[in-house]
Structure 1
Amino acid sequence: MKTFINSLIFTLTLTVVTFGNAFATPYYNNSGDDAPSTLFEHMQTTQLLQVTMEMDIETLIDNKKTNEFFPAKFSFKNSQGMMTDWDIEVRSRGRFRRMTCEFPPLKLKFPKKEMKAEGFGKHNDVKLVTHCMDDKKAVETLFREYLTYQLYAKLTDASFRTQLISITYRDSKTGAETSTYGILIEDADELAERMNKEECENCFGLTASAYNQSNLQIHDLYQYMIGNTDWSLKMARNMKVLNPRTDGGERLVAPYDFDFSGLVNADYAKPNADLQQKDVRDRYYIGADWTADEWTTTIKLFQDKKMELMMTIDQFDMLNNKAKKDMKKYLESFYSELDQGFIPQNYLALNGN
């Protein structure tokens, strides 16, 4: 633990600039009012959000295998230049990463009473994807995962909004500071409300026919495009299922956690043993099956969006050119398959599994 705490005393140089399409445009949904209606929207900006979080880091790390919350102070400067301070609660989250990372991903819980007083509604949970390890490769991995969320948002509105941040962690006991990067991800209930849906906590065992077909096709083909097999429709793993609020509505799916994908290519990612995958960059389609005619509209969407997806990577200046070239080359191999008439068919079903 002492080694880890000592490693916190380092500083990365942070550059605050505007990054074209690589940063999502803030989304406000309060009927024409330009002011944010939720706390997450209050934190959204087309620039890198500057954040400071003070907490007992050693206690948090020592308890990262539990779901116990600990007090923290969260401060940020919004797009209008105003500093906002919050007393929040923080805990570790996730499965694999909380066990693997030196600094686990976090769940931030903001106080509902204070949020209500500020007019920010009821959505008080925000996920924080952290830097995991204290090295340059880990930061590159975080940038790559941030881009996977941005790419998916170019294809569908049923996607989690994200905000890239520069964050300074301050240890409340020692005063030691470290500055690095993170990704804030909106709460699933907030996403569901935007889509006029509600989150389903126990939607297991549903078949493809239970979902909006266009939504599911986009999801399945996107997972194949980025080379991700770390998900399951049957188990609702690494996805949120959004149920209709009224009769006649359609169920949607919204994915998250792309760190095991070939596009992100994290150092800790492991091949999928169930597929006998030899490398995480090997693509396997494990989504639902549709006919060639049924795939036509979705495949055309991906082809029409190719330039925009490539530009999103190109315009993200925080990622080095070598990594951007690698990501675009990986996407090009997917588009080559589409150009050659690739029709997705479930690998496990075809192989009798």
Structure 2
Amino acid sequence: MRKLLQHGLAALLVLAFATPASAQPSNRPTALFAEESELAITIEAPLGSLVRNAPRSTAPVQATLILTGAGEPQRFAISLSARGITRRTGGVCSFPPLRIDFGDTSLRGTVFRGQGKLKLVTHCRPGSNFEQNTVMEYTAYRLFNAVTPVSFRVRPVRVTYHDTDGRRSDETRFAFLIEDVDDMAHRNDRVALDVLSGVVTSSQLDPDASARFGLFEYMIGNLDWDQTQGHAGEECCHNSKLIAQTQQTRTGVISVPYDFDYSGLVNADYAVPPAGLPVQNVRQRLYRGLCRHNDALPGAIALFQSRRTEIMAAVTGESRLNEARRRSAQQYLENFFEVIDDPARVQSQLIERCRR
């Protein structure tokens, strides 16, 4: 394996550099995710009761989304519901992540055209530190966008929450929307697989994409994921989505990660490593890529090295990060590149610690 690492890096370098160009999606993103500018929206809903009931219920409520900014405000009738598991039910957040459902509302001629249901990643609690966590998680998505187009796009929004119950004061917070999985798959000439946990096995995963997935999660220090497994009897997978050429395809399946709040890069106050792993905190990296895809790891390393400038620029250029969080993120990522630039450390910290 050491010989593969030393000679494979050079041999695969050209291939790795070519990967982003050859893998460019043939379909454009929807209008909402074609740009990165921050949108200003207001959500009017019975937020008092929705937030109070969130730990026990994801039942939707009728609400209004108002798009403000240039021109006349645009109003959309939506259904709004709490979503997620840990942030909603774990007792760590006072405000849940949300799901927006446009239903049959006409969206023609608006930035939301083509949308149906959208995940809105919200603040966990009031306070600047929690808002910085949301900005950092948004940035984590942008880091993977810099590596590959086979990733979820995100759109930043500044949301004013107005409680029609009259129980909560208006508050304005940073949040972001996540591209729908079907749109992400279509953009990359694939379909999202509708399968239960464990139906797709690790042997059916695309080796290059699997190695890329594992290396990215290592880069951001995230252990809260699985490429093929999730909760028994539920849709696959844990904090990842599977896409393939067709619903029946079981070769070259690609797992695409999402949900990075438990990563060391974000370093949320409530984040802890999964039980049973030899790490003390989420800032401590542990490689969990699959051993069966170690042959593809040199190519993944070369790809990340070739995208180093873009990866670092995603942090440097994120104006919503304060300087302390920016410097912390930059140093955390620099430490990652120090590892993958050193063949001996790649051998000991990645290849020899892969997941069997």
TM-score by length of 1: 0.82
User: Could you say which residue in structure 2 is the equivalent of 1:266?
Assistant: 268
**Aligned 8 A contact 2:37 2:155 in 1:** no
User: Could you say which residue in structure 2 is the equivalent of 1:128?
Assistant: 120
Unaligned stretches of 5+ in structure 1?
Answer: 1-26, 31-35
- Secondary structure of the structure 2 residue equivalent to 1:275: coil
Report % sequence identity.
30
Give, in whole Å, the separation in 2 of the partners of 1:211 and 1:309.
Answer: 25
**Aligned 8 A contact 1:164 1:182 in 2:** yes
Give, in whole Å, the separation in 1 of the partners of 2:335 and 2:245.
Answer: 36
Please give the residue correspondences for 1:72-83 in structure 2 after superposition, counting only pairs within 5 Å.
Answer: 72-77=63-68, 81=71, 83=73
**Aligned 8 A contact 2:117 2:180 in 1:** yes
Question: What letter is aligned with 2:64?
Answer: K
Give, in whole Å, the separation in 1 of the partners of 2:120 and 2:352.
Answer: 33
Give, in whole Å, the separation in 1 of the partners of 2:109 and 2:169.
Answer: 33
Give, in whole Å, the separation in 2 of the partners of 1:223 and 1:191.
Answer: 19
User: Could you say which residue in structure 2 is the equivalent of 1:213?
Assistant: 207
User: Could you say which residue in structure 2 is the equivalent of 1:94?
Assistant: 84
Please give the residue correspondences for 1:20-59 in structure 2 after superposition, counting only pairs within 5 Å.
Answer: 29=27, 38=30, 41-42=31-32, 45-59=35-49
Question: What letter is aligned with 2:88?
Answer: R
Please give the residue correspondences for 1:250-265 in structure 2 after superposition, counting only pairs within 5 Å.
Answer: 250-265=252-267
Matched, 1:178 2:184: no
Matched, 1:85 2:91: no
Report how many residues are paired: 315
**Aligned 8 A contact 2:155 2:178 in 1:** yes
Quote the offset at 1:247 in angstroms: 7.3
Please give the residue correspondences for 1:167-316 in structure 2 after superposition, counting only pairs within 5 Å.
Answer: 167-174=159-166, 176-205=169-198, 206-235=200-229, 236-245=237-246, 250-289=252-291, 294-316=296-318
- Secondary structure of the structure 1 residue equivalent to 2:208: helix
Cα deviation, 1:253-285, whole Å, max 9, x if unaligned, reads 111110000011001101221203211111111
> In the superposition, relative to structure 1, how do residues 245 and 120 fare at CA in structure 2: closer, same or farther (>3 Å)?
farther
**Residue 148 of structure 2: which of 140, 153, 156 is its match?**
156
Quote the offset at 1:286 in angstroms: 1.2
User: Could you say which residue in structure 2 is the equivalent of 1:21?
Assistant: none
**Aligned 8 A contact 1:299 1:338 in 2:** yes
> In the superposition, relative to structure 1, how do residues 289 and 189 fare at CA in structure 2: closer, same or farther (>3 Å)?
same
Give, in whole Å, the separation in 2 of the partners of 1:346 and 1:124.
Answer: 44
**Aligned 8 A contact 1:285 1:347 in 2:** yes
Question: What letter is aligned with 2:218?
Answer: Y
> In the superposition, relative to structure 1, how do residues 169 and 298 fare at CA in structure 2: closer, same or farther (>3 Å)?
same
RMSD value, Cα: 2.6
User: Could you say which residue in structure 1 is the equivalent of 2:58?
Assistant: 67
Unaligned stretches of 5+ in structure 2?
Answer: 1-24, 230-236
Please give the residue correspondences for 1:96-115 in structure 2 after superposition, counting only pairs within 5 Å.
Answer: 96-99=86-89, 100-115=92-107
Quote the offset at 1:28 in angstroms: 10
> In the superposition, relative to structure 1, how do residues 128 and 247 fare at CA in structure 2: closer, same or farther (>3 Å)?
closer
- Secondary structure of the structure 2 residue equivalent to 1:46: coil
Give, in whole Å, the separation in 1 of the partners of 2:355 and 2:266.
Answer: 26
Quote the offset at 1:63 in angstroms: 1.8
**Aligned 8 A contact 1:275 1:348 in 2:** no
Quote the offset at 1:294 in angstroms: 3.1
User: Could you say which residue in structure 2 is the equivalent of 1:331?
Assistant: 333
Question: What letter is aligned with 1:86?
Answer: F
Give, in whole Å, the separation in 2 of the partners of 1:328 and 1:155.
Answer: 17
> In the superposition, relative to structure 1, how do residues 311 and 116 fare at CA in structure 2: closer, same or farther (>3 Å)?
closer
Give, in whole Å, the separation in 2 of the partners of 1:48 and 1:121.
Answer: 17
Give, in whole Å, the separation in 2 of the partners of 1:109 and 1:28.
Answer: 27
Report the more deviating stretch, 285-294 or 207-216: 285-294
Cα deviation, 1:270-328, whole Å, max 9, x if unaligned, reads 12212032111111111212576532221111111112211111111110111111001
Report the more deviating stretch, 126-135 or 56-65: 56-65
**Aligned 8 A contact 1:285 1:346 in 2:** no
User: Could you say which residue in structure 2 is the equivalent of 1:20?
Assistant: none
User: Could you say which residue in structure 1 is the equivalent of 2:137?
Assistant: 145
- Secondary structure of the structure 1 residue equivalent to 2:42: strand
Cα deviation, 1:131-155, whole Å, max 9, x if unaligned, reads 1100111001001100000000011
Give, in whole Å, the separation in 2 of the partners of 1:218 and 1:176.
Answer: 44
> In the superposition, relative to structure 1, how do residues 110 and 244 fare at CA in structure 2: closer, same or farther (>3 Å)?
same
Cα deviation, 1:64-108, whole Å, max 9, x if unaligned, reads 131200011001147x64532100001110010012211100011
Report the more deviating stretch, 146-155 or 233-242: 233-242
Give, in whole Å, the separation in 2 of the partners of 1:320 and 1:118.
Answer: 32
TM-score by length of 2: 0.81
User: Could you say which residue in structure 2 is the equivalent of 1:345?
Assistant: 351
Give, in whole Å, the separation in 2 of the partners of 1:318 and 1:306.
Answer: 21
Higher RCO structure, 1 or 2 (CA under 8 Å, sep 6+): 2
- Secondary structure of the structure 2 residue equivalent to 1:165: strand
